Amino acid sequence: MEHHAEVLTGGIWHQRIPSWRDAAAVVLVVAVLILVGTGARQMVSPFVVAHQPEILLSPTALPFYALRTTIRMLAALAASLIFTFIYATLAAKSRRAEMVLIPLLDVLQSVPILGYLSFTVVFFVSLFPGSVLGPELAAIFAIFTSQAWNMTFSFYQALTTTPHDLDEASRSFRSSGWQRFWRLEVPFAMPGLVWNMMMSMSGGWFFVVASEAISVGDIQYTLPGIGSYVARAIQDRDLSAVGWAIAAMTVVIVTYDQLLFRPLVAWADKFRFEQAAAQSVPRSWVLDLFRRSKLVRFVGRPVGIGLRTAARARLALPPGARRLRRWSPPRRLIDAAWYGSVLALTGYGVWTLVQFAGPTLSWNDLAEASRNGALTLSRVVVLVALATVVWVPIGIGVGLRPKLAEKVQPIAQFLAAFPANLLFPVVVYVIVRFGLTPKIWLSPLMILGTQWYILFNVIAGASAFPSDFREVAASFRIRRWRWWRDVILPGIFPYYVTGAITASGGAWNASIVSEAVSWGPTRLDGSGLGAYIARMTEAGDFPRIALGIAVMSVLVITMNRILWRPLYALAERRTRLD
Amino acid sequence: MEVRPSDSIIDLRRVCKTFAKPSGEPLAVLTDIDVSLRDGEILGLLGRSGSGKSTLLRIAGGLIKPTAGDVLYRGTPLAGPSEGIAIVFQTFALYPWLTVTENVEAGLDALRLTRAEARRRALVAIDLIGLDGFQSAYPRELSGGMRQRVGFARAIVANPIALLMDEPFSSLDVLTAETLRTDFLDLWTGHHLPTKSVLMVTHNIEEAVLMCDRVLILSSNPGRIAAEIPVALAHPRDRLDALFHDIVDQIYSTLTSRSLESLRAHAQASGGTALSLPRVSVSRIIGLVERLSAAPYAGHAELAQIASALVLEVDDLLPVAEALHILAFAELSAGALKLTAAGHVFAEGSTDERKRMFREHLLRFVPLAAHIHRVLDERDGHRAPHVRFETELEDHLTRRDSERTLRVVTDWARYAELFDYDVRSRRFGFTAVSE
C-alpha cells in the first residue's frame, strides 16, 4: 500500500493527549447519546412506522435492494466528507477547539457503532414521526459514524502537517483562507483522504447491512436493502436467498470499486506530495474513458471552470470584520473560560448519567457487564492471535512473490470490504445443523470480516520490504528461524500492527451482531458483551445498553492505550534509521 | 556613492527576533539588525547555518513579525506580506498538483484578475524565465533547475518591486545552479525584470561575490551583522579575476575570525565544558587531515582554496576546520588552516595510533569529554545518565546546541573508545572491551 503512512498516522496514536481527556470524552459521548435517545423517546412513544415495506425474497427484487443500499452508502459518504471538512478544519485552526475535538474524536472511533444504533434510531424516528425518512436517516447516520472518524483524522493530520514551505509561499502571495483551503490544504490531504474513504467504505458495508433491519424494544423497522433482505431470509430459513444476497453484494462491491474508487485513486495520484515521479502510477479504465471522451469533456468543461473560479474567489473577511477580530480579551481569560465550560459540561454529563442510570442500575449490573466484557475481551485477544498465526506467514509468503501478491492483494481487499454479517447465516446454519456449542463456535464470526486487514497489510509490508535487505539476508545465508526473527518479522512489523489494530477494532464492533444470532425461530447466544448489548437492545432497556456501550468503550480505549499504542510507537522507533 | 533615504526599498531598523525555548525562556535569534535594501542593488546575506539569515529574509518579506524594531517598505511600516514583495524559496515550494502555468498563476491569486488576464501574465513570465514548452507539465516531471525556474516565474509574475531569494540555488547541482545564476544575472543586468532590488540569502561565498553588489556577513548565536563587504565589480564577473579572489578571501577571513572569537568566548565561560561542538563526524575530521597533509597543501591551505578543490561550501567546510582547531590537529587563522605537529603525526598514523592520539586529544582539548570520563570513573558501576550532562549543558547552551554537542562528543568518544552511550537506557558507560 503506498498510502500506508496515512493509515499509520491516523490519529489513534496522538501522543500529546493525556488520558484524563479520554475519560471526559467518554462521559460526554455516552451522556449525549442518552440525552438524545431518551429525550426523543419521550416525544413519541409508543411508536409506529407508518408504511413498512414488505421485503420480497425473489432474486429479481435484489437489484433494486442493492441500489437502495448503495445510495445509502453514497449519502453517508457525502455526509462524512462535509463533516470531515468542517470538524477537522476547526480542530486544526483553533487551539481551544482542538483540545476538545481531538480527544472526542479519539473516543468516538472507539465506541461500538452498533451499540448506539438503538439511541440514534429512536432519535431520528422521533424527528420524522410516521415517515420512513426517520429510519433512513438513522441507517445513514450509522454508516456515517463508521466512516467519518478516520477520514476526519486523516484530514486533520494533513492540515497540521502541511509542508512549511508551501504554507509560506501561499502566505507570501497573500492568498485568502478560502483560496488556501482549496489550493493547498485539500489537495495536500487528498491522497490520504481517498485512501481513508476506501477503508471507511469497507467497514461501511458491514454497518449498512446491520442497520437496515432493526428492532429496539417496541420500535421495529425495515428498510428495503440487501441487509433487510438477508434478515428476512434468516426469518424464513431460506439459505438460497442468503446465497443470492451474497452474490448481489459481491457485484455491488466490485462495481463500486471499479466505478468509484479506482477512478478516485487514479485521479488523486496527482496530489501525491513526493516530487519524484512514481514508479507505478495507479490506473483506472473508467477515468481514462472519461478523460478521453469528447462528450464528457464538453459537458465537464463548464463545471471545471466553475469549480476553479470558486476556488480562486477570495472570500476574505471585509477589512472592518478583520479589525473587529483583532481586538480580543487576554488569552488567559479566554482559556480559563473555555476550560471552565468544558469542565462544567463534563460535570453535567456525569450528573445526567447518574440521574439516568441511578434508579435502574445496580452494582450487579456493572458486575454482569464486566464479566461479559472480560469474555468478549478474551475472545478478541485469542482470535487476533489466531489470525496472526495463520495470516502473517501466508501474507509474507504472498508478499515476497510480486506476481502472486498482485493477484491475491485485490482479493484480500475485497474480502475485507465484504460485509461478513451476510455470511453469518451460513455459519449459524452449520452450527444449528450439527448442534455445536455456540459459546465456542460463534466466536470466529467476530473476526470473519476483519482478519483480512491483517492479511492485506502484511502482504503490503512484505511487498514493500526493501530488496537490498532480502539480498543481504540471502548473501549471508541467514535462514529459517533467524531469518524470521531478524529479517522479515521486524520488516513487516509496522504494517502488521496497523492491520491488527483494524482487525481488533472491527472484532469488537462485530461482537454485537455475532455473539447473539438466530436462524428462523432458533436463537443462539454465545454470551459476552456483544450479546449483552444485543439482548438489551431487543428489550429496549436503555440504561443497560448505555452501560454495555460504556464498558465496551472503556475496554477498547484501554486496549488501545496499553497494547496498540506502545506497539505502534515501538514499530515506529525501531524501523527508523535516523 | 551618496545614498539618500528615499533610495531604499526595504528598511529594517533595530530588528530583533527571539523564539521561545521549550523551557519557556527566550532564545535570541537576531539582535539589533539594521539593513537597508537599496534601489537597484543585489544585496547578499551571508552566514553560517543558525545565523538567522533565513529568518531575517522572512522578516523583510513580512512572513515573520520581528519581536522588536521596525520594518519599512518604501517608507511605510510593513504589516504582513505585501504587494510588491515576492519570495523565491530554497525548496521551490511548488504545488505538486498544479501545472507550471497554474503554479505561476497562483502568484496572482491576491490580485483579483480575470482568468484571461491571469493566464496572459503567467505566459509572459514563463516566456521571460525560459520555461516555454513546459507550460502544461507538472512539477514532478521537471528537473530541479526547471522547478526553480517555475519558482522564479511565480515570483516575478506579479511584477514585484523587491525580490527576496532564500538560498535559491542551494538545492541544485553545481552545473544547474551555474546556468540559473547566469540566466538570472542576464535578465537583471539587461533590465528585463520589473524588480528594482534583490535581497539574497546564501551560504555560498563565491555565489555571493558573483551576484551581489554588497554582502552582509551575519555572525551566529545570536545573529547580528558582523561586516559589510562591498563588491564593486562589473558584470559579468570572472572567478579567476584577482579582485574577485581578494574579496572571497576577505569574506573567509571575516568568517573565520568570527568563529574563532566565538570559540574563545565559549571556552572561557564554564571552564570550557559548555564548548558547543560543531556537528562533524570523525570521518570528515580524518578526511580533512589527510587532505591537508597531502600534496599540494603540505599542511597549509587557504580555506577558499580547499573549499573549491573539495567542492565544499562554507557551511560544510568551516565546521570541520573548527573541529580540527578544537582538537588541536590544526590551527585556524584568518582564512587559512595549518596542520599542527600532532596533526601531521595523526595523518601518518595507523588506525590504532590514530585512535590513541584522538583519545589523548579528546581528553586534553575537549573539556566536556574529559568531564564525562571523570564522572564515569568516579561512579560505582561506571554509568551516568545522559540527562545529567544535558542539564549541565543547558545552563550555558540552547537545548538544540546542547543536544548536538552531546551527540558529537558521543560520536568522537566512541571512535576514541573512551566511553559509550546506550540509547535504550539513555546512559553513558565505559566502552566494553572485547578480547
Tell me how far CA of residue A68 lies from CA of A77, A172, A196, in angstroms.
Answer: 14, 49, 23
Angle, vertex CA B356, rays to CA B350 and CA B360, nearest 5: 140
Chain centroid to Cα A36, Å, comes to 22
Task: Please check whether residue A416 is in contact with residue A202, taking contact to mean a CB–CB distance below 8 angstroms.
Answer: yes
| Domain limits, chain A | 9-285+331-357, 360-578
Is beta strand B162-166 parallel, antiparallel or unpaired with respect to B85-88?
parallel
Query: DSSP labels for A187-249?
Result: HHHHHHHHHHHHHHHHHHHHHHHHHSEEEETTEEEE-SSHHHHHHHHHHTT-HHHHHHHHHHH
Query: Which stretches within B269-398 are classed as H helix?
Result: 282-293, 303-310, 314-326, 341-348, 351-365, 367-378, 386-394
Length of chain B: 435
A175, B85: Cβ pair inside 8 Å? no
Rounded CA separation B57/B167 (Å) = 10
For A379-437, the DSSP string reads HHHHHHHHHHHHHHHHHHHHHTSHHHHHHHHHHHHHHHHS-GGGTHHHHHHHHHHHT--
Q: What is the average pLDDT score of chain B?
A: 87
Q: Residue B302: left if φ>0, alpha if ψ -120 to 50, beta else—which one?
A: beta
Q: How far apart are CA B227 and CA B217, in angstroms?
A: 5
Residue A198 has, within 13 A of its CA and on its CB side, a CA count of 27
- For residues A494 and A461, the answer to whether their CB atoms sit within 8 Å is yes
First-residue to last-residue Cα distance in chain A: 23
Contact A175 B109 (CB under 8 A): yes
pLDDT score of B3: 43
For residue B21, how far is the Cα from the chain centroid?
A: 21
On chain B, the residues whose CB falls within 8 A of the CB of A178 are none
User: Contact, A65 vs A248, CB < 8 A?
Assistant: yes
Residues 6+ apart with CB under 8 A from A132: A49, A50, A51, A223
Of all residues in chain B, what percent carry a pLDDT higher than 70?
95
A87, A151 in Cβ contact below 8 A? no
Query: What residues in A contact B407, CB-CB < 8 Å?
Result: none
d(CA A237, CA A425): 9
The HSE-up count of residue B371 (CA atoms within 13 Å, CB side) is 18
Q: Are A171 and B58 in contact (CB under 8 A)?
A: no
Q: What is the pLDDT of residue A465?
A: 85
Please write down the HEC assignment for all residues of A140-198. Answer: HHHHHHHHHHHHHHHHHHHHHCCCHHHHHHHHHCCCCHHHHHHHHHHHHHHHHHHHHHH
> What distance in Å separates the CA atoms of residue B186 and residue B191, rounded to the nearest whole number?
8
Please judge whether B106 and A277 are an interchain contact, meaning their C-beta atoms are less than 8 angstroms apart.
Answer: no
Nearest to B141 among A168, A187, A277 (CB): A277
Interface of A with B (CB under 8 A): 163, 165-166, 168-176, 179, 183-184, 187, 190, 270-277, 305, 309, 312, 314
The SS3 of residue B34 is strand
Residues A347, A350, A356, A359: is their CA dihedral positive or negative? negative
At residue B238, φ and ψ (nearest 5 deg) are -115, 125
Closest CA to B363 of B413, B289, B430: B413
Q: Which residue's entry shows cell 527576496?
A: B164
User: Which among B91, B96, B109 has CB closest to A272?
Assistant: B96
**Tens-place pLDDT, residues B387-417:** 888 888 887 777 778 888 899 999 999 999 9
Contacts of B118 (CB under 8 A, 6+ apart): B105, B108, B111
How many Cα atoms occupy the beta-carbon half-sphere of B354 within 13 Å?
17
Quote the radius of gyration of chain A (alpha carbons, Å).
25
Q: Residues for chain A: how many in total?
A: 578
Distance CA B322, CA B337 (A): 10
Distances (CA, A) of A313 to A81, A159, A178, A370, B107: 22, 21, 8, 56, 14
CB A248 within 8 A of CB A63: yes
Residue A516, strand partner residues: A525
Instruction: Calculate ∠ Cα B156-B163-B127, nearest 5°.
Output: 20
Residues 6+ apart with CB under 8 A from A16: none
What does the buried/exposed string (b/e) look like for A479-512 if buried means 16 or more CB atoms within 10 Å of the residue's CB?
eeeeeeeebbeebbbbbbbbbbbbbbbbbbbbbb
Structurally, at CATH architecture level, domain A9-285+331-357 sits in Orthogonal Bundle (1.10)
Residues of B with CB under 8 A from a CB of A: 58, 61-63, 80-83, 85-87, 89-93, 95-98, 106-110, 112, 115, 138-141, 147, 158
Provide the pLDDT confidence category of residue B342 given band limits of 50, 70 and 90.
Answer: very high
Task: State the nearest Cα–Cα gap between A165 and chain B, in angstroms.
Answer: 5
* Predicted pLDDT of residue A423: 82
Q: Is it the case that residue B248 has pLDDT exceeding 80? A: yes
Mean pLDDT of B345-350: 92
Distance CA B376, CA B363 (A): 13
* B49 pLDDT more than 70: yes
Cα–Cα distances (Å) from B281 to A22, B324, B361, B405, in that order, read: 45, 11, 16, 12
- CB < 8 Å to A191, chain B: none
* Peptide bond just before B385 cis, omega within 30 deg: no
Q: How confident is the model over B176-186, as pLDDT tens digits?
A: 999 999 999 99
A273 contacts B109? CB cut-off 8 A: no
Interacting residues of A535 by C-beta distance below 8 A, sequence separation 6+: A516, A525
Q: Please identify which residue in the block is written with the cell numbers 478583520.
A: A322
DSSP codes joined into one string, B151-205:
HHHHHHTT--SEEEEESTTTTS-HHHHHHHHHHHHHHHHTT-SS--EEEEEES-H
Lowest mean pLDDT among A364-368, B187-191, B270-274, B366-370: B270-274
Q: Is the pLDDT of residue B164 over 90?
A: yes
Query: pLDDT tens digits, chain A, 578 residues: what are they?
Result: 223 333 333 333 444 444 566 677 777 777 777 766 665 555 444 455 555 667 778 888 888 888 888 888 888 989 999 999 999 999 888 877 887 788 788 778 777 777 777 778 878 877 877 777 888 888 888 888 888 888 888 898 888 888 888 888 988 888 888 888 888 899 888 888 888 888 888 778 888 888 887 777 667 778 888 888 888 888 888 888 888 988 998 998 888 888 888 888 888 877 877 655 555 667 777 777 767 776 666 776 777 777 777 766 766 655 544 444 445 566 677 777 877 887 888 888 778 777 777 777 778 888 888 899 999 999 999 999 999 999 999 999 998 888 888 888 888 888 888 888 888 888 888 888 888 888 888 888 888 888 888 898 898 888 888 888 888 888 888 878 888 888 888 888 888 988 888 888 888 888 888 888 888 788 888 888 888 988 888 887 778 888 888 888 888 888 888 888 888 888 777 766 65
CB A403: neighbour CB atoms within 10 A? 7
Indicate the range of A476-480, B172-176, B327-331 predicted with least confidence: A476-480
- Report the alpha-carbon distance of residue B6 to residue B21 in Å, rounded: 39
| B96 to A183: CB separation less than 8 angstroms, yes or no | no
Contacts of B83 in chain A (CB under 8 A): 174
Give dist(CA A548, CA A535) in Å, integer. 11
Question: Is the confidence at residue B168, as pLDDT, over 90?
Answer: yes
Residues of B in contact with A183 (CB under 8 A): 95, 98, 106, 109
**Beta strands at A516-519 and A219-222: parallel, antiparallel or unpaired:** unpaired
pLDDT of residue B200: 95
Contacts of A326 in chain B (CB under 8 A): none
| pLDDT tens digits, B17-45 | 988 765 666 778 888 999 999 999 999 99
Kindly determine whether residue A271 and residue B112, on different chains, have CB atoms separated by under 8 Å. Answer: no
In degrees rounded to 5, what are phi and psi of residue B61?
A: -90, 0
Domain range annotation of chain B:
5-253, 282-429
Nearest to B107 among A173, A270, A271 (CB): A173
Average pLDDT for residues B95-114, to the nearest whole number?
87
Q: Which pLDDT score is estimated for A46?
A: 47
CATH 3.40.50.12240 fits A360-578, yes or no: no
Q: What is the pLDDT of residue B1?
A: 41
Q: What is the pLDDT of residue B123?
A: 93
pLDDT at residue number B288: 92
More confident call, B64 vs A115: B64
Does a cis peptide bond (omega within 30 degrees of 0) precede residue A112? no
**Contact check, Cβ <8 Å, A179/B85:** no
CA A153 to centroid of chain Cα atoms: 11
What CATH number labels B5-253?
A: 3.40.50.300
Nearest chain A CA: its distance from B139 CA (Å) = 7
* B85: closest chain A residue by CA: A172
| pTM, rounded to two decimals | 0.80
- Partner residue opposite A275 with nearest CB, options B90, B110, B139: B139
Smallest CA–CA separation between B340 and chain A, in Å?
Answer: 34
Q: Which of B81, B90, B91 is facing A174, going by the closest CB pair? A: B81
CB-CB under 8 Å, B110 with A175: yes
User: Residue B127: helix, strand or coil by DSSP?
Assistant: helix
Quote the pLDDT of residue A210: 82
